[in-house]
Amino acid sequence: MAEMILERKNVPSVQKTDVELKKQASGHFLPRIIPALTGIRGAAALGIAVHHMLPPMLKSLNIHSLDHSVIVENGFRSVDLFFILSGFILMLTHGDEFRTGNLLTLKRFFILRFVRVYPLHIVIMFLIVPIVLLFPDFVHWSRTYSSPEFAYKVHNFSWPGFVQSLLLVQTWTVVKLGEWNGPSWSLSAEVLGYLLFPCLAWGLLYLKKPAVLHGLAGCILAGECVLLAVTHHAYNNPSGTMGAVRMLGGFGAGMALGRAVLAAGPLVGRRASLVTWGSLGFVVCTLAFPELSPVMVFGFAWLLFGLAYQQDAVGRLLGSRIFLWLGILSFPFYMVHFILFKVFMWGIEPEILHSGTAEILLAWGCLFLIMIFCTVLLHKGVERPSHRLARRLAGPRISS
């Protein structure tokens, strides 16, 4: 997925003063890479991994000081950040292409999106099949549940569920045929967003005033929060049909803010930093007061908006080498880490419960190294070739 930076046309790549930037505020922007928007993907993937892995690791070490940590418990909300980021970047990258109803533009867009995501997903799905066939005890363990709200787990690793997950349509219906790779639900929701993107982008192009676009983004996120609250999903991690609602809310708000970036002049100096730091402060407040955590998505949305202007320490940190590396590997890591974690929890974790601290830490460390190893293999062997294939099949950008 391409990240973005905003640069004035025909302006040399030298640092501009605030006055010069203000004088340039009315012109047209061209997209380029924004390192911070790659880096924040890495931070989000790391947050999801911590949410999954840290509680059982600490439990195996008999450490309970973080049992109710709001940071760990809300790690699943990083998925909402992914949804907002996806809509934001796609609007910056492809939004202007849909000013006219060009079928070739539609074809190119769908090739770029689907060829980039399906190959990696399909490879991981077929790598899971031998685990399911060779270890029926793992399947049985995966189907156990502790309360009626998790009764859907009884269908995990079913073959109808395999077909549903392989096609990435599991969030499009209330029927749960069985989970195979947990994180793929969000990819299913993303595909729904890709299908809706051309129509949504065409509508947003008619909106010219940044204030209207910011207001629209806020209303979309407010509607998402209200809907999740009335369906009693505000404080958990819905991954079925309500997961698609999370995606549509975040994706739509991200698109509106992406359009706002293109429609407005650049924020400069202190104004840009205020947006970034204010949004980050808002996220921290929602962690300090757990009852506010469902509205964390507002902080995520305007944090991305502020990062688009790259004018503060937050952007520089997220654009650093370590976060860039994490961001580049974030998609394969996100997609492969959960099945490896589940196999570990089934086959290894019970065996190390009565071991010493060093042995437990070694086991968890080996799990993480295996995750990184598999991630790098998938990135180099599947993700990068699929990106090259997508660009080759799609061809050059079509002028609108």
Q: Where are the domains of the chain?
A: 34-338+372-394
| Residues β-bridged to residue 7 | 30
Among residues 220, 225, 256, 253, the alpha carbon closest in space to that of 238 is found at: 225
- Residue type, position 297, single letter: V
In whole angstroms, what is the distance from residue 175 CA to residue 187 CA? 17
pLDDT for the residue 126: 97
Is-contact 398 110, C-beta < 8 A? no
Among residues 333, 331, 338, 351, the alpha carbon closest in space to that of 128 is found at: 338
Exposed / middle / buried, residue 297 (Cβ in 10 Å: 0-12, 13-18, 19+): buried
b/e 8-32 (16+ beta carbons within 10 angstroms → b) = beeeeeeeeeeeebeebeeeebebe
Write down how long the chain is.
400
Residue ranges of the alpha helices (H) in the chain? 18-23, 35-60, 70-73, 78-94, 103-134, 136-142, 159-166, 184-204, 210-230, 241-263, 269-288, 296-307, 313-318, 321-328, 330-347, 349-352, 357-378, 384-394
Q: Give the global pTM.
A: 0.89
- Residue type, position 187, single letter: L
CB neighbour list of residue 171: distance below 8 Å, 6 or more residues apart:
185, 188, 189, 192, 239, 240, 241, 243, 244, 247
Exposed / middle / buried, residue 149 (Cβ in 10 Å: 0-12, 13-18, 19+): exposed
CB atoms within 10 A of CB 37: 25
pLDDT for the residue 32: 59
In a structure prediction context, what are the per-residue pLDDT tens digits for the chain, which is 400 residues long?
Answer: 444 444 433 333 334 433 334 334 434 444 457 899 999 999 999 999 999 999 999 989 888 877 778 888 899 999 999 999 999 999 999 988 888 778 889 999 999 999 999 999 999 999 999 999 999 999 999 999 878 877 888 999 999 999 999 999 999 988 889 999 999 999 999 999 999 999 999 999 999 999 999 999 999 999 999 999 999 999 988 888 899 999 999 999 999 999 999 888 666 667 778 899 999 999 999 999 989 999 999 999 999 999 988 768 888 899 999 999 999 999 999 999 999 999 999 999 999 988 899 999 999 999 999 999 999 999 999 999 999 999 999 988 776 5
Residue found by looking up tokens 């809907």 in the block: 227
Residue 63's SS3 state is coil
Is-contact 172 148, C-beta < 8 A? no
